[in-house]
Structure 1
Amino acid sequence: MPAQLGFAEAASAWAQLEPALRAEALQVRSGAGRELRLSAAQLKSFDSATLSVLLGCARLATEHGLRLVVSNAPEQLRALAGVYGLTDLIWPSETTPA
């Protein structure tokens, strides 16, 4: 993910992420993988539009029978997801009891 991903950047970020994630999903599935990984380590500036992009990523992973794993997300992004009730959709493995 880019360093800045807000409302102004969301459409162009998704236009870049979607084909890359689709290609990655095909590679993961062909290798019998189960997780589509996305790093948010570079993400420094974001807003609620970032959550929309992440939901699109999660939906894409599900379409391919995979689970999205978002790593290194800023705590503020996780808190924002919690405010909107989206934590379970973006980080399901961390909220589902084993």
Structure 2
Amino acid sequence: MSDARLPARLTTAEAASVLQELRSALAAEPGDAVTLDAGGLRSFDSAAVALLLELQRELRRTGRTLRVTQWPPRLRDLVTAYGVQELLPA
């Protein structure tokens, strides 16, 4: 199992660099399941949802799964508003 953490800020301005950091960190750690802690996320926009969906797609291609923990309520609300809650279960 691999563990990673989202930063405090994840907006369109940070999304590309955060995704690259997560890719690098997760590539270095073996395991089928990835647990991503979103509890520290304080400032974010729809780019956070897009990043989670992209990360999940990439992991699935390699046979890995993504589990997000410590969802901030506003992030869960965004996921629901975009209708992707089934793709990113809590």
TM-score range for the pair, normalised by the shorter chain length: 0.7 to 0.9
Are 1:4 and 2:9 an aligned pair? yes
Give the TM-score taking structure 2 as reference length: 0.85
Give the TM-score taking structure 1 as reference length: 0.79
Following TM superposition, the consecutive aligned residue runs of length 4 or more in structure 1 with deviations greater than 6 angstroms are none
Structure 2: distance between partners of 1:38 and 1:80: 17
Structure 2: distance between partners of 1:67 and 1:49: 20
Within-5 A mapping of 1:10-89:
10-24=15-29, 27-28=30-31, 34-89=32-87
Structure 2: distance between partners of 1:89 and 1:80: 13
- Residue 15 of structure 1: CA displacement? 1.4
Instruction: Provide structure 2 residue ranges, at least 5 long, that are not aligned to the other structure.
Output: 1-5
If you compute each CA radius of gyration, which structure gives the higher value, 1 or 2? 1
- Residue 23 of structure 1: CA displacement? 2.7
CA RMSD of aligned residues (A): 1.3
Deviations 1:25-73 (A, max 9, x none): xx11xxxxx4211111110111100011101111122112122100001
Structure 2: distance between partners of 1:45 and 1:60: 24
Structure 2: distance between partners of 1:87 and 1:22: 26
Q: Secondary structure at the match of 1:37?
A: strand
Compare the two structures and name the one with the higher helix fraction: 1
